[in-house]
Amino acid sequence: MTPHEILRRPVITEKSTMLGESGHYVFEVARDANKIEIRRAVEAVFKVDVEAVNVSHVHGKMRRMGRSTGMTSSWKKAVVTLRKGQKIELFQGI
């Protein structure tokens, strides 16, 4: 898998924005990617040094549209901690 296939998109929420101020960045990643692959992908794409990677699975939720019900997709979330003093410019100004 290429680094751009591993890192699907950044997760932009109020909590992830506050984490970004302390050097933690949140990404949606491929479901079959492991911590080592995520570390290498972030280092390759953004040219930074990764200190730690924490991964969690976000389970889909039940949603209703009128009478019909369905499930949202499950996805994998990675919280990446960078070395002190480093930033990812993609998240600045959000």
Q: What is the tally of structural domains in the chain?
A: 1
Tokens of 14: 């109020």
Torsion of Cα atoms, 81 then 49 then 87 then 14, to 10°: -20
d(CA 45, CA 73): 26
Within-domain flag for 92: no
Point out the residues of the chain with pLDDT beneath 50: none
Q: What is the pLDDT of residue 55?
A: 98
Q: What is the pLDDT of residue 41?
A: 97
Residue span of the structural domain in which 81 resides: 3-61+73-87
SS3 45: helix
Q: What is the pLDDT of residue 89?
A: 83
Q: What is the pLDDT of residue 6?
A: 96
Which CATH number fits the domain that encloses residue 12?
3.30.70.330
Q: What is the pLDDT of residue 34?
A: 96
Q: What is the pLDDT of residue 74?
A: 97
Q: What is the pLDDT of residue 90?
A: 73
pTM of model > 0.85 = yes
Within-domain flag for 94: no
